[in-house]
Chain A
Amino acid sequence: MLQLLTSQIGFYLLLSIFLIGSLGSLFLSKNDKYANIWGNAFAILGSSLGLIFSVSLMLTNRTFSFNFNSLYQHFLDFSFNVDMLAGFFIGVISLIAIFCSFFALGYVKHFYNKYNIGVLGFFYNILIASLILIVTSSNAIWFLIAWEIMSISSYFLVVYDRNDESNVKAGFLYLIMTYVGTAFILFAFLLIYKYTNSFDFSIIKSNINLIPFHIKNIIFIFSIIGFGIKAGIIPLHIWLPAAHPAAPSHVSALMSGVMIKTGIYMFIRLFMDILQPIPVWWGVTIIIIGAVSSLLGVLYALTEHDIKKLLAYHSIENIGIILLGLGSSMIFNFLGMMSLSLLSLMAALFHTLNHAVFKSLLFLSAGSVINEVHTRNMEEYGGVIKYMPQTALFFLIGSMAISALPPFNGFFSEWLTFQSLFQGIIQLSPNFNWIFIVATGSLAFTGGLALACFVKAFGSIFLAKPRSQDVKHAKESSLSMRIGMGFLALFSILLGLFSGYTTILLEKVGKGLSIFNEVFSSVSVSGDQLFQINKGFSSIRSFSIFIFIILVILFSFLVFKYLINKNQKLKIDKTWGCGTDLNSRMEITTTGFAKSIILIFKGILKPSLQSEIKYHDSESRYLPKSMTVTFKVNNVYSKYLYKPIQKIFNLLSIKVKKIQSGNINLYISYIYIILIILLFFIL
């Protein structure tokens, strides 16, 4: 059975299921309900099959690749390579997709009779399928095809809620950015083709040494830009906080959890596999990008009061953390410390997996809150926990995981990342380890700021008094949605609990890459998930920690609740408000919570504060009528980078349009002039 599954047939089966799902829901689009059920049912089916596929693949190392020559394009060979890395990413994709689809079953209901559900199901399935194609395709052209299918389908999902002007704008920005990225990628592959005469990854890999050094560097830069746009590294990230909120929540979960990881996948594929050997400055660049992205990402997240934008910025932050791992892996790889390089790669992969889990969990729970309260603005939430207790719990787990609190999964991947950076600091000479010090510092501060940010998020969404009427009508979300969230929450606990086994699996994945084939591991896992880095430099046992924490908290709970004076009375009364009757306007707001941090980092964030006061008596100005204070953070990137570019091209095009002046004599004079030029100068 498994043999059959982990083979071409299984692969085709996988894709065909999604295809059936998409087309079926398109055909059923007359009836919203059926279309929704059909589309998501097939998505669930396909992705659970994919999960089995990848797990059995990783456990049994039964990697396979196949290709046959193309229809008429001589270089468009239909070639796929399902190795361990691809298997791992298929696993991540499927894992997230299953629960997003479960969630969608209930979530999509509120689109009924508003938009065409069939189209949603169509593009949703196509998106998942294209993600799987991306990580498996082993030919640049096929890769680009899958890549663009992913971009286009996700674009149509972003503009799905098209009656909102801002969504269309966001989609526009997104598609432009991603197309520019594709152009860069295409050019990078063309450069590779120029020297290796092939678009097939395996062939490229085998005669990579034909590419001269400086060309390799150009390729690196282009692929950084191309894939970095998709991964959302700063400053190429501007589409991300715009597009992810625009999409329906289960889609934004998929996009933020998985889609941006395809950029990471290609980074790994190119830098750790195909373009090997690599110069050191690539790794340094990656680490610097990672440090900047993680720190700035979390800072921008702090400034947000749109919940989905906040989560989107956290995706940027986590991409940064992943890149820290990857970059250190690349540096170690250059220095020939292969086992350490493997360790860092494991850290990156582990964080990829974890971030996929808890970020999609967060997006889903945020989505179910938005679905009830009908706004993304956190200032209008408050006290939701009383109306949606389970969603609140899921969001809490998600926030603890993302801010790397033990015993959830986020902690362990960040721990691993920290360890690899520590190793860099300890073992490398001063001309390298400064970069690791920088990375560690940024990671440390990122952790602290992320914690603050999620206290803010959870507090202002779920705690205290409701700040708007809509909250009071909120109800706990439907069963299928809770299933989706609940399982992801469960996974973020389990992945933490069994982080040892996960690490071993990831090591296998890493060793799947040819450069790590015979590298001895620097991680040893024993017994109760005790895993040690580098001969006991540091060690941690996730399992016993988990048990111990639970026990101790239970213990203290029992002791103090029941042993010490069990007949204590508990009086419910209203919060003390210095004698005034406290209302929800007096609570701390989202902006207020983050303001102190924003002011501390005002050098980077460039906040601007305008206040205007309207007076009853405009001349004497004694009796103010109203006072409005607007506190916002300037988007330096669009101001100093993107707007100027746009201006330049607009100006250029307006200038060029003058050519078409409408005067026929002029037109003929063009012909005359070009004739003269060609006759007298070109010849």
Chain B
Amino acid sequence: MSILFLQFLLEIMFLTIIFLHLLKKNSDVVLAYIVQSILISLVLLNSFIETGDILILWVILCVLVVKVILGPIFFRRLIKKNALAFSVSTYLNSPLTLVLISFVTFMAFSNKLLPITNIIPSYHILLSLSLSMIFLSLFLIVNRKGALSQIIGVLSLENSIIMFIVFAGLEQSPGLQIGIIFDIFVWIIISTVFASMIYNKFGSLNVTEMNRLKD
């Protein structure tokens, strides 16, 4: 596929993260995550086409299974069980969030980080984009009060890192990737379990309720 197409994919993904920042409904958040994961698998497909390594197909399969099917199922069940249509609010209101988002994006494009965004000069834009996605997902975790949004934030951080390494040509051997994805899988399970525990204990998924452990 051409670099333009990849860039297009990446920009969509970038948009999903922006959406993650703005969306209020949990189901939409999950949806956005699914889109992200699908994009990931597309990009991986591209690298398969380039290298022709069969194993990568397995990786793609895992990605699809874990991130597109199983993970969202868990989240859905969580949402249904606890009947929380709307995720709790953010710290910053949408305009301010957007301002900060743009700031963070500029940061990612700044010359300071040129060396790592220039690992493969031809992919400079893509790398900077995915780097800004990393920062944005971090910002998502900081900004969101909902436990679910934090989970999604961590996952999208992971996705953006994958993106980055794919474009930087740093993919590991598929075995390792599968291992990583397995980790992610377990992580999703545990985090959803904890999310429901939080709901049981605190009556909401608002993590700011949890401030008993001070000093």
Binding site for B on A (CB under 8 A): 657, 660-665, 668-669, 671-672, 675-676, 679-680, 683
B112 touches A679 (CB 8 A): yes
- A to B CB contacts below 8 Å, 11 in the list: A657-B215, A662-B211, A663-B211, A664-B210, A665-B91, A665-B144, A671-B138, A672-B138, A676-B107, A679-B112, A680-B112
**Residue from A665, A675, A680 within 8 A of B208 (CB atoms):** A665
The distance from the CB of B144 to the nearest CB of chain A, in whole angstroms, is 8
B143 contact set on A, CB distance < 8 A: 665
A660 contact set on B, CB distance < 8 A: 214-215
The distance from the CB of A659 to the nearest CB of chain B, in whole angstroms, is 10
B142 touches A661 (CB 8 A): no
**Residue from B112, B142, B207, B210 within 8 A of A672 (CB atoms):** B142
B138 contact set on A, CB distance < 8 A: 668, 671-672, 675
Complexed CA–CA distance, A672 and B134 (Å): 11
**Residue from B112, B207, B215 within 8 A of A665 (CB atoms):** B207
Residue B145 lies at the interface, judged by CB distance under 8 Å to chain A: yes
B211 contact set on A, CB distance < 8 A: 661-663
The distance from the CB of B59 to the nearest CB of chain A, in whole angstroms, is 28
Residue B113 lies at the interface, judged by CB distance under 8 Å to chain A: yes
A671 contact set on B, CB distance < 8 A: 138
B144 contact set on A, CB distance < 8 A: 665
Of all chain B residues, the one with the shortest Cβ separation from A666 is: B142
The distance from the CB of B95 to the nearest CB of chain A, in whole angstroms, is 19
Complexed CA–CA distance, A602 and B139 (Å): 65
A665 contact set on B, CB distance < 8 A: 91, 141-145, 207-208
**Residue from B113, B210, B215 within 8 A of A679 (CB atoms):** B113
Residue B212 lies at the interface, judged by CB distance under 8 Å to chain A: yes
Q: Mark B104-122, 1 if CB is under 8 A from A, else 0.
A: 0001001011000000000
Seed contacts A662-B212, A664-B210; 20 additional CB < 8 Å A-B pairs:
A657-B215, A660-B214, A660-B215, A661-B211, A662-B210, A662-B214, A664-B150, A664-B207, A665-B91, A665-B143, A665-B144, A665-B207, A668-B141, A669-B142, A672-B138, A672-B139, A676-B107, A679-B113, A680-B110, A683-B112
A668 contact set on B, CB distance < 8 A: 138, 141-142
A657 contact set on B, CB distance < 8 A: 214-215
Residue B1 lies at the interface, judged by CB distance under 8 Å to chain A: no
Size of chain B's interface in residues, with CB distance under 8 A? Answer: 21
Complexed CA–CA distance, A583 and B141 (Å): 82
Of all chain A residues, the one with the shortest Cβ separation from B212 is: A662
B54 contact set on A, CB distance < 8 A: none
Complexed CA–CA distance, A672 and B138 (Å): 7
B145 contact set on A, CB distance < 8 A: 665
B150 contact set on A, CB distance < 8 A: 664
Complexed CA–CA distance, A406 and B149 (Å): 89
B139 touches A662 (CB 8 A): no
A680 contact set on B, CB distance < 8 A: 107, 110, 112
Q: Mark B134-159, 1 if CB is under 8 A from A, else 0.
A: 00001101111100001000000000
**Closest 9 A/B residue pairs (Cβ):** A662-B211, A662-B214, A669-B142, A657-B215, A668-B142, A664-B207, A668-B141, A672-B138, A680-B112
Residue B213 lies at the interface, judged by CB distance under 8 Å to chain A: yes
Complexed CA–CA distance, A680 and B212 (Å): 34
Complexed CA–CA distance, A451 and B212 (Å): 63
Of all chain B residues, the one with the shortest Cβ separation from A680 is: B112
The distance from the CB of B215 to the nearest CB of chain A, in whole angstroms, is 5
Of all chain A residues, the one with the shortest Cβ separation from B215 is: A657
The distance from the CB of A361 to the nearest CB of chain B, in whole angstroms, is 51
The distance from the CB of B24 to the nearest CB of chain A, in whole angstroms, is 18
The distance from the CB of B211 to the nearest CB of chain A, in whole angstroms, is 4
Complexed CA–CA distance, A503 and B110 (Å): 81
A679 contact set on B, CB distance < 8 A: 112-113
Residue of A664, A669, A680 with highest tally of chain B CB at under 10 A: A664
B207 contact set on A, CB distance < 8 A: 664-665
Complexed CA–CA distance, A672 and B211 (Å): 20
Complexed CA–CA distance, A270 and B76 (Å): 76
B139 contact set on A, CB distance < 8 A: 672
The distance from the CB of A652 to the nearest CB of chain B, in whole angstroms, is 14
Complexed CA–CA distance, A669 and B113 (Å): 20
Complexed CA–CA distance, A672 and B150 (Å): 14
The distance from the CB of B192 to the nearest CB of chain A, in whole angstroms, is 17
The distance from the CB of B25 to the nearest CB of chain A, in whole angstroms, is 20
Complexed CA–CA distance, A671 and B139 (Å): 11
Complexed CA–CA distance, A510 and B95 (Å): 83
A661 contact set on B, CB distance < 8 A: 211, 214
Of all chain A residues, the one with the shortest Cβ separation from B150 is: A664
Of all chain B residues, the one with the shortest Cβ separation from A654 is: B215
The distance from the CB of A335 to the nearest CB of chain B, in whole angstroms, is 58
Complexed CA–CA distance, A312 and B11 (Å): 80
A664 contact set on B, CB distance < 8 A: 150, 207, 210
The distance from the CB of B132 to the nearest CB of chain A, in whole angstroms, is 13
The distance from the CB of A666 to the nearest CB of chain B, in whole angstroms, is 8
B214 contact set on A, CB distance < 8 A: 657, 660-662
B142 contact set on A, CB distance < 8 A: 665, 668-669, 672
**Residue from A662, A669, A676 within 8 A of B213 (CB atoms):** A662
A675 contact set on B, CB distance < 8 A: 138
The distance from the CB of B128 to the nearest CB of chain A, in whole angstroms, is 14
Of all chain A residues, the one with the shortest Cβ separation from B154 is: A668
Q: Which residues between 14 and 73 of chain B lie within 8 Å of chain A, taking CB atoms?
A: none
Q: Which residues between 183 and 215 of chain B lie within 8 Å of chain A, taking CB atoms?
A: 207-208, 210-215
Of all chain A residues, the one with the shortest Cβ separation from B138 is: A672
B110 contact set on A, CB distance < 8 A: 680
Complexed CA–CA distance, A177 and B74 (Å): 59
Complexed CA–CA distance, A79 and B41 (Å): 70
Of all chain A residues, the one with the shortest Cβ separation from B142 is: A669
The distance from the CB of A290 to the nearest CB of chain B, in whole angstroms, is 46
Complexed CA–CA distance, A85 and B215 (Å): 52
Complexed CA–CA distance, A657 and B215 (Å): 5
A663 contact set on B, CB distance < 8 A: 208, 211
Complexed CA–CA distance, A668 and B138 (Å): 8
The distance from the CB of B199 to the nearest CB of chain A, in whole angstroms, is 16
Of all chain A residues, the one with the shortest Cβ separation from B214 is: A662
Complexed CA–CA distance, A676 and B213 (Å): 27
Complexed CA–CA distance, A679 and B214 (Å): 29
Of all chain A residues, the one with the shortest Cβ separation from B110 is: A680
Of all chain A residues, the one with the shortest Cβ separation from B115 is: A683
The distance from the CB of B196 to the nearest CB of chain A, in whole angstroms, is 17
The distance from the CB of A370 to the nearest CB of chain B, in whole angstroms, is 43
B210 contact set on A, CB distance < 8 A: 662, 664
Complexed CA–CA distance, A664 and B141 (Å): 9
Complexed CA–CA distance, A668 and B211 (Å): 14
Complexed CA–CA distance, A672 and B143 (Å): 11
The distance from the CB of B94 to the nearest CB of chain A, in whole angstroms, is 17
Complexed CA–CA distance, A675 and B138 (Å): 11
B107 contact set on A, CB distance < 8 A: 676, 680
B208 contact set on A, CB distance < 8 A: 663, 665
Of all chain B residues, the one with the shortest Cβ separation from A662 is: B211
Complexed CA–CA distance, A664 and B208 (Å): 7
Complexed CA–CA distance, A509 and B102 (Å): 80
Of all chain A residues, the one with the shortest Cβ separation from B153 is: A668
B112 contact set on A, CB distance < 8 A: 679-680, 683
Complexed CA–CA distance, A38 and B99 (Å): 80
A683 contact set on B, CB distance < 8 A: 112
Of all chain B residues, the one with the shortest Cβ separation from A656 is: B215
Complexed CA–CA distance, A168 and B142 (Å): 47
Of all chain A residues, the one with the shortest Cβ separation from B147 is: A664
Of all chain B residues, the one with the shortest Cβ separation from A675 is: B138
Of all chain B residues, the one with the shortest Cβ separation from A669 is: B142
Complexed CA–CA distance, A169 and B80 (Å): 59
Of all chain B residues, the one with the shortest Cβ separation from A676 is: B107
